[in-house]
Structure 1
Amino acid sequence: MRKRFLRALALWLIPPIGTLLIRLIYLTNRKRFHLPMSIPNEPVIFAFWHGDLLMQPYLYYQFRRNPKANVLISDHFDGQIIARIMRYFKLGTIHGSTTRGGAKVLIQGLKSLSEGYDIGITPDGPKGPRHEMSDGVVVMAQKRNAKVIVYSCVPSTFWQLPSWDRFTVPKPFGRLDFYASEPIDLGGLEMEAAKALIKAKLMEHVL
């Protein structure tokens, strides 16, 4: 009973406070955006490492004035908190893992792409190993002929939490460099080759 109460309290308190802190970090940092030459109008899959998730909604806003995206989020307790924070940024969520019981979440992702939603995915989420690619981003991209854009946020100063993903929290009053790759077409590539291509792009600006 006590654990249930504490979790309910955390779900009520942490998302609005977390959202406020994210906005303060963004507002107190200088920003530089390194964007692709072309941005597809059709739905796109945005991929970023799990530890680099915090500031990515602001990069997404550079692509879509009217956000229409679903982010694949863990169905664990921390995923519930992240999902509620995403709602403050007007982003939807799909709960599940592309590695454990992955069929359900992949089907939901494919349906969202068909309905015109962009998809946000952490290829090493929800539990790692860190910087190891799951198959989900490739499966969705190839089945829906969707392009993949790789995201990174590189803060000039930051904290890294002692979690499996070394979750990165930018410090205020520095600079945030946001990177987005050119749209990547995975059509015709074998699974391992496609995963290697996306991973190489993700590692270009890794912390």
Structure 2
Amino acid sequence: MKKRIKTFISIKVVPFIMQLIVRFIYLTSKKVFHHANIDSNEPIIVAFWHGELLMQPFNYQKLRPNTLVKAMISQHKDGEAITRTVEYLGIGSIRGSSSKGGAKALISTIKELKAKNDIAITPDGPRGPRFSVADGIVAIAKKSGCKIAIFNCKPSKYWQMKSWDKFVVPKPFGTLEFFIQEPLDISNLEIDEAKTLIKEKMLINAIV
């Protein structure tokens, strides 16, 4: 019984409260958007650091309010709570990561892109190291032929967790600067070259 209650709280109550908090932070903040011009007819691979993911649903919705996006989320039990939270914010999910369920998730992401839907990935998730770029995002970009759009969110004031990703929680009543760069085409690059380029671009507006 206790286990059922704990599970209910973790996958039902916590996500609902979390999305309310995220919405409150967004609504009470000044927003500044620095968005590159992106072809609305072409699906993209959205990339952002794991520690900056909290406000990215709003960054995406400002860019493409009428397009479906699905985020790759770990199959770990913590991933279920994240899945429920982002669903409240209009983001779908593909369960899997480089360490678990990776092959299935890779196939699913390519299918979504072929269907003209966008997908979102944290290249350093779900376990890090922080600011690392795993092979998965490169493989997806090469197999799908889609470009990678780098997303960042830089709040004027924030709390930073002591977790491996130094997770950022913006404080209310500040300023949120949202960045989306010109999409990267890595089709002609070797894997290591592509990973280096992606990391360099993602660090430009990152909270270090």
TM-score tier, shorter chain, comes to: over 0.9
Q: Structure 1 residue 146 and structure 2 residue 135: aligned?
A: no
The code of the aligned residue for 1:195 comes to: K
Describe the SS at the equivalent of 2:151: strand
| Superimposed CA distance per residue, residues 121-162 of structure 1 (whole angstroms, 9 cap, x where no aligned partner) | 000111111111101111111111101100000000000111
1:23-172 maps to which residues of 2 (within 5 A)? 23-172=23-172
What secondary structure, in the 3-state scheme, does the structure 1 residue paired with 2:63 have? coil
Q: Secondary structure at the match of 2:59?
A: helix
Please report how far the alpha carbon of residue 38 of structure 1 lies from its aligned counterpart in structure 2 after TM superposition: 3.1
Rate the CA distance shift 1:40–1:141 in 2: closer, same or farther, 3 A: farther
Secondary structure of 2:116's counterpart equals coil
- Give the whole-Å Cα distance in 2 for the aligned partners of 1:47 and 1:15: 23
Is residue 67–residue 91 contact of structure 1 (8 Å, CA) maintained in 2? no
Shift of 1:101: 4.2
Q: Is the 8 A contact 2:74 2:100 kept in 1?
A: no
Q: Distance in 2 between matches of 1:203 and 1:15?
A: 29
CA distance in 1, matches of 2:51, 2:7: 23
What is the TM-score with the length of structure 1 in the denominator? Answer: 0.96
SS in 2 for 1:205: coil
Deviates further, 97-106 or 143-152:
97-106
Q: What do residues 61-83 of structure 1 show as CA deviations (whole Å, max 9, x unaligned)?
A: 12212130110001112211110
Letter in 2 for 1:161: M
Q: Distance in 1 between matches of 2:116 and 2:38?
A: 18
Please report how far the alpha carbon of residue 40 of structure 1 lies from its aligned counterpart in structure 2 after TM superposition. 4.0
Aligned counterparts of 1:169 and 1:65: Cα–Cα separation in 2: 24
Question: In 1, Cα distance between the equivalents of 2:53 and 2:4?
Answer: 27
Flag structure 1 segments of 5+ consecutive residues without an equivalent: none
What percentage of aligned pairs have identical amino acids? 46
| 1:18 partnered with 2:18 | yes
CA contact (8 A) 2:15 2:85 kept: yes
Cα distance per residue 1:8-43 (max 9 Å; x no partner): 222111111111110100011101000003334211
Q: Residue 3 of structure 1: CA displacement?
A: 3.6
CA RMSD, 1 decimal = 1.3
Deviations 1:161-188 (CA, angstroms, capped at 9, x unpaired):
1111111000011100001110111111
How many residues are treated as equivalent by the alignment?
207
**Matched-pair contact (CA < 8 Å) for 1:73–1:79:** yes
SS in 2 for 1:142: helix
CA distance in 1, matches of 2:38, 2:107: 28
Q: Is the 8 A contact 1:67 1:90 kept in 2?
A: no
SS in 2 for 1:54: helix
AA in 2 matched with 1:204: I
The residue type paired with residue 181 of structure 1 is Q
- Unmatched 5+ residue regions in structure 2? none
Report the Cα distance in structure 2 between the residues aligned to 1:115 and 1:98, rounded to whole angstroms.
23
1:151 is paired with a residue of what secondary structure?
A: strand
Give the letter aligned to residue 47 of structure 2.
Answer: A
Q: Specify the SS of the correspondent of 1:90.
A: coil
